[in-house]
Structure 1
Amino acid sequence: MSARSSLSRPSADGPVRDGIPEHGRIPRYYAVKVGLLEVIAELGEGSALPAERELCERFEVSRATVRQAVGELVLEGRLSRRQGSGTFVAPPKIVQPLALVSYTEGLRRQGIEPGRNVITLERRAAGPALAADLRIEPADEIIHIERVLLADAERVGLESTYLRAARFPTLLDVFDPEQSLYACLRERLGVVFDGAEERVETVLATPREALLIGTNPALPMLLMHRISWGPDGEPFERVRSLFRGDRLSFMTRLGRVE
């Protein structure tokens, strides 16, 4: 059976069947994409993808079809492009828990070394939007900490944290911005996190964000908004975290609803 005929015949289940539209015709690029997933599994992490010409011959399709299939796998984080070197099998995505744990804790549990590059460390007026979220006045001061997030020295995200300055008057004196903020709040300032509300959506990075994270502005990003509060129910922190969708995924555990 030729590569062309094998791509035209869907399996009873699995990714090919999942991608078949109702009219039953498999898009050519999608069949190539499924075939490439098998190639990726055989090659293993860090291996170079065969040359475009070789893939065209293997699947008996045009360069445009191969490029579309490869492009989708790059967007999904299965493949990564290195300028001047080629396309390679990407490492597995980092799994970050959706829980009241810090970025540092989440990565170290997976054997990944976290890191941060400080971009902004300042005190300024809250402004209307932040004031509404933190239940303070627009003229009240907040502490703004903006950092590029690293995983084994690879840039994977950009985090902006806003805290009530009046509640943490000594924070900037005791906080090392290259270390875990949550560890500092708990261990140095005795802060108790009682709860948080978190929202996740997909966005495209702004030109500034893409430059700081080192990603293509066309790649989808995962944007997380979090407001945290203590035992008194008063919000004291708002966090805006932007993560590379090709490198991170999120996990949470759900319980049964009675």
Structure 2
Amino acid sequence: MHAGIPEHGRVPLYFAVRSRLLDLIQTLGEGSALPSERDLADLFDVSRLAVRQAVGELVLEGRLTRRQGVGTFVAPPKLVRRMALSNLGFEPTRALVTLEHLPAANPLAAELGVRVGAMIVHLERVVSAHGDRIGLESTYLAAERFPGLADRFDPTGSLHDHLREVFDVTVADAEERVETILATPREAQLIGVSQALPMLLLNRLTRDADGRPIDRARSLFRGDRFSIIATLRE
């Protein structure tokens, strides 16, 4: 298969419709409403089923976005996260969902370097960009290392900035693992997406200059609004 075209050279009808839709999207521009399925079928001289399949694929890819009861629109470009410390590639805003103390169980206790049963701070926040909810972050820290964090931290701000300014703790390195999953019903509701939407899951452990764990984070981002760039060097 070359560029999505089978070796036998016969292009699936929906793929041809998809290609024409991409040209139309460029012409319409970000935020523009897409014509109805009926109008597109007439425009391309194809069945509504072929149009529906092509539009559905472009919605999953994040090129189009559906608004319930309103219509389908040209989506803005995807947000980019570069695989670098303290660099999301955009200016996020955060809204608090949960801020609590919990007893640490394994393997979280081992990752944070505390005994099983020691108290940890759990911080859960919805992440937004350009006014749209794009993800959900859950962060875990040792309560003993950061006393009073739950009372003093502004959850709308940067956690790592707060740790540096108040506790003189600075992130030196991190390990981050990325995979694709589907959100749970609760996660999908908090982010405001369908459970069928693929999500990017980032699991990260940060450390200070002495190699001591700072926090363990689980970040869930919308697959249709997010891409990741990693720079590799030898």
**Is the counterpart of residue 65 in structure 1 residue 50 in structure 2?**
yes
Whole-angstrom distance in 1 between the partners of 2:165 and 2:6: 54
CA contact (8 A) 2:160 2:171 kept: no
Give the RMSD, CA atoms, in angstroms: 1.5
Q: How does 1:170-185 map to 2 (within 5 A)?
A: 170-185=148-163
How many residue pairs align between the two structures? 234
Among residues 17, 27, 43, which one is paired with 1:42 in the alignment? 27
SS in 2 for 1:66: helix
Aligned residue number for residue 169 of structure 1:
147
Is 1:83 the counterpart of 2:61? The answer is: no
Deviation at 1:201, TM superposition (A): 0.6
Contact 1:174–1:188, Cα closer than 8 Å, also in 2: no
Distance of 1:225 and 1:86 partners within structure 2 = 35
CA distance in 1, matches of 2:67, 2:216: 35
**Residue 85 of structure 2: aligned partner:** 100
Aligned-residue identity in percent:
58
Counterpart residue identity of residue 241, structure 1: S
Matches within 5 A, 1:85-234: 85-101=70-86, 103=88, 106-108=89-91, 114-234=92-212
TM-score of the two chains, using structure 1 as the length reference: 0.86
Q: 3-state DSSP class of the match of 2:23? A: helix
C-alpha distance in 2 between matches for 1:17 and 1:89: 26
Distance 2:40 2:14 in 1: 12
- Structure 1 segments, 4+ long, off by >4 Å, are none
Question: Structure 2: which 5+ residue stretches go unaligned?
Answer: none
Stretches of structure 1 lacking an aligned partner (at least 5 in a row): 1-15, 109-113
| Cα offset, 1:30, TM superposition | 1.2
| Secondary structure of the structure 2 residue equivalent to 1:77 | coil
Letter in 2 for 1:173: D
Residue 52 in structure 1 maps to residue 37 in structure 2: yes
CA deviations 1:32-62 (Å, max 9, x no partner) are 1111100000100011111111211222221
Q: Which residue identity lines up with residue 133 of structure 1 in the other structure? A: E
1:17: Cα distance to partner?
4.8
Please state whether the residue corresponding to 1:127 is helix, strand or coil: coil
Paired residues of 1:197 and 1:228 also in contact (CA < 8 A): yes
Counterpart position of 2:232: 254
Structure 2 length normalisation: TM-score?
0.95
| TM-superposed deviation, 1:175 | 0.8
Q: Provide the C-alpha distance between the structure 1 equivalents of 2:53 and 2:228, rounded to a whole number of angstroms.
A: 26
